[in-house]
Amino acid sequence: MSSSDSPSTVDQLQADLDVLAALGNELKARLVPSLFADDDLLRLTTAVSSVARVLESAQVVLAAEIDDRSRPERGSDRLCALTLMP
């Protein structure tokens, strides 16, 4: 599948991830753990861990696809053999 097959889906996912990254940076800038009560510190840590698990699972899915597309039997068509131009 080439990136031109569904540009609106890929573009929307990229836009969503850009928003998520910006939100994450904003959240990180506001974190002052030393000011939080113990219960609040634990609650926020749990919430951050939940978000991290979701993002890590998405990363695993993408990495698995890259691995599949880079199989040696694909020859010169394998993803790791392609030169990507910006």
Q: Break the chain into its structural domains and give their ranges.
A: 1-30, 33-86
Please give the angle made by the CA atoms of 46, 48 and 49, to the nearest 5 degrees. 65
Distance CA 63, CA 69 (A): 10
pLDDT tops 90 at residue 83:
no
Q: Are the C-beta atoms of residues 61 and 53 closer than 8 Å to each other?
A: no
- pLDDT tens digits for range 30-50: 999 999 999 999 999 999 999
Q: What is the mean pLDDT of the chain?
A: 89
* Amino acid letter for position 44: L
| Prediction pTM value | 0.74
pLDDT tops 80 at residue 71:
yes
Q: 3: which DSSP letter?
A: T
Distance CA 86, CA 3 (A): 13
pLDDT tops 60 at residue 4:
no
Q: Are the C-beta atoms of residues 21 and 14 closer than 8 Å to each other?
A: no
